[in-house]
Amino acid sequence: MKNPLGMAVLGLLLESPLHPHAMAATLRERGMDRSFKVTTGSLYDVVRALMREGWIEARETVKVGARPERTIYGLTAAGREEFTRWVDRLVREPQAEFPKFLSAVSYLGALGPSGAAEALRERAERLRASLEEMRGSHRAALEQVPRLFVVEVEYAVRLAEAELEWVEEIVGDVESGRLAWPEGER
Amino acid sequence: MKNPLGMAVLGLLLESPLHPHAMAATLRERGMDRSFKVTTGSLYDVVRALMREGWIEARETVKVGARPERTIYGLTAAGREEFTRWVDRLVREPQAEFPKFLSAVSYLGALGPSGAAEALRERAERLRASLEEMRGSHRAALEQVPRLFVVEVEYAVRLAEAELEWVEEIVGDVESGRLAWPEGER
DNA sequence: CATCAAATACTCGGAACCGAGCGATCGGAG
DNA sequence: CTCCGATCGCTCGGTTCCGAGTATTTGATG
């Protein structure tokens, strides 16, 4: 059980039992799909895995009309514990991750000075847009709920700001020659 | 073909044809395994996929002693093009990604004020250590190769710094009550 | 020259992932 | 009342991922 979506499910069930479709809907309504990759396919796999581990259990299976049955899952005591442990571990232990941009930057040389500068300028543009959007939704959310429930947006904003600054600096460095292409690389 | 490891392979073959094991070894020697997830299993899958796409081709199959055969792969013209396109795209277009810490922060509330502060302090400690290490290897690398070949480390350092600052601030906010736990949450 | 750790080189199968599809039902426009 | 798009709720199966295992060879040590 590695998928963080599992943690999100446990977190939701802490409030009340739900069926998978409702979990996905709730996560999306609350904008949690910015922090978790919510895909229906994976959701059902994850729920099955949580069952295997004994962290959730089927509470009832309801049939409304001729629609597919809805199985409603609830947290077990073990699940409640696991949730906290899970959050704690992810907070405590930084994990080696591999954002795609990091990969790309490793081969920035391949674009040549002007190509690199141009591509980076476009990234900067897009980053500014998405930052604007995040800041907006953060402001909006703060009027509805306590800050504790939106700290993750503050974190995302901070990282995006740092990335944007770095990208802008590198564009400057390329243009000024502070970041030079060695002979033979274009 | 989504796996960035594919991009790394193309990047390597740009220099000279190699067999898979040598690719992995070279990537690790150069510390590229900080930017790409290099797992042997995936590597062979990725190489097969690159073949399917016609971006690389088998050059020769050498048998040394009774060891498994080594198949040496080289870049095709299409592969050369694709490599640049790939880097360009990843630089230009920020992708929605889901770092585990972002997920965890979404449920920071579950740890309670003191638990959260404590876990965050430990994270900060570990971040400082890994930052120290990155800075060291950056300095060392800069004596060997031009800056262009280590910019990705500068990027990683920047992000880690931003994260560390944020974590430290939040610890302060929790302890001072600027980040409060609403009634009923613990 | 016998032994053993390290390096060489890859295969395999189970797990995870996830988008497309499927078969309903509901709400509203005409 | 009848059509149609949106919503409901889930399944299916094809990738993709990857760690553990396998089997050999080299090099260092005693």
Q: Give the number of other Cβ atoms within 10 Å of residue A105's Cβ.
A: 25
- DSSP label of B69: P
Q: Is the pTM of this model over 0.85?
A: yes
B112: phi then psi, degrees, rounded to nearest 5? 75, 160
Which residue intervals of chain A are DSSP H helices? Answer: 4-13, 20-29, 40-53, 77-92, 100-106, 112-142, 151-176
Q: Is residue B68's pLDDT more than 80?
A: no
Lowest mean pLDDT, pick from A1-15, A43-57, B56-70, B107-121: B56-70
B67 Cβ nearer than 7 Å to chain C strand: yes
Model confidence pLDDT, tens digit, residues B41-54: 999 999 999 999 99
B-proximal residues of A, 137-156, CB under 8 Å: 146-149, 151-152, 154-156
Tens-digit pLDDT profile for residues B104-137: 999 999 999 999 999 999 999 999 999 999 999 9
Main-chain dihedrals φ then ψ at residue A39, nearest 5 degrees = -125, 135
Chain B, 39 to 78: residues with Cβ < 8 Å from chain A are: none
From A129's Cα to the closest Cα of chain B, the distance in A is 11
Residue B70 pLDDT class (50, 70, 90 cuts) = confident
> Looking at the partner chain, which of A102, A148, A154 has a beta carbon nearest the beta carbon of B156?
A102
Residue A76 near residue B56 (C-beta atoms within 8 A): no
Q: B130 and B160 in contact (C-beta within 8 Å)?
A: yes
Q: B79, B13 in Cβ contact below 8 A?
A: yes
Contact state of B36 with A11 under an 8 Å Cβ cutoff: no
B3, B4, B8, B9 alpha-carbon torsion, rounded to 10°: 20
- Average pLDDT taken over every residue of chain A: 95
For residue A183, name the pLDDT band (cuts at 50, 70, 90): confident
- Residue B74, classed as helix, strand or coil, is strand
Q: Residue A84 and residue B111: Cα distance in Å, rounded? A: 7
Position B65 scores a pLDDT of 65
Residue B83 phi/psi, 5° resolution?
-55, -50
pLDDT at residue A12, as a whole number: 97
The predicted structure's pLDDT at residue A184: 74
Give the three-state DSSP class for B59: strand
Phi, psi of A65 (to 5 degrees): 60, -145
Mean pLDDT of all residues in chain B? 95
Would you say A73 and A48 are in contact if contact means Cβ atoms under 8 Å apart? no
Interface membership of A92 toward B (CB under 8 Å): yes
